[in-house]
Amino acid sequence: MERAKILIIDDDPVCSGVLLAMLGDDYQVTTANSGSGGIDILNSMLPDLILLDITMPEVNGYQVLRFLKADSSRANIPVVVISTLVDSSDRDFALKLGANDYVNKPIMPDVIQKMVDQYLPY
């Protein structure tokens, strides 16, 4: 059975590293250290789940969400935002743009695993 594909888009190498360490044994994990890098990857692969930071330079997570939802081939990929932004307006805006869920940093492994289990088809 093919492992589910997760794309992590986060400019924080510590966060990406923790997520990769948590998920890399069970899933096929690809990382991008910028929003534009994430978009480049999305042009060549369709992941089963995206873990997305919001606060990144140049292309932020909101722009990545807009890119995803504008294309019918990518619009249904579940997106969990993992962000340092704690204001409810940031959460509401991400959900309005099409994110499926919103989790605040710092990363809590049990919360992340629950999200992955909830949104992955296998």
Biggest alpha carbon–alpha carbon distance for the chain: 40
DSSP label of 101: E
In the chain, DSSP finds a helix count (H) and a strand count (E) of 5, 5
pTM over 0.85: yes
Q: Within a domain: residue 86? A: yes
Confidence of residue 107 (pLDDT cuts 50, 70, 90): confident
Position 76 in a domain: yes
Q: Is pLDDT above 70 for 122?
A: no
CATH of the domain at 61: 3.40.50.2300
In a domain, 92, yes or no: yes
Q: Report if residue 121 sits inside a domain.
A: no
Task: Count up the domains in the chain and report the number.
Answer: 1
Residue 119 falls inside a structural domain: no
Q: CA-to-CA distance for 36 and 100, rounded, in angstroms? A: 21
* pLDDT(92) > 90: yes
43: in domain: yes
pLDDT digits (tens, 9 = 90+) for 8-65: 999 999 999 999 999 999 999 999 999 999 999 999 999 999 999 999 999 999 999 9
- In this predicted structure, what is the pLDDT of residue 121? 66
**Domain for residue 29, yes or no?**
yes
Which domain does 61 fall in, by range? 5-113
Instruction: Say if 25 falls within a structural domain.
Output: yes
pLDDT at 95 over 90: yes
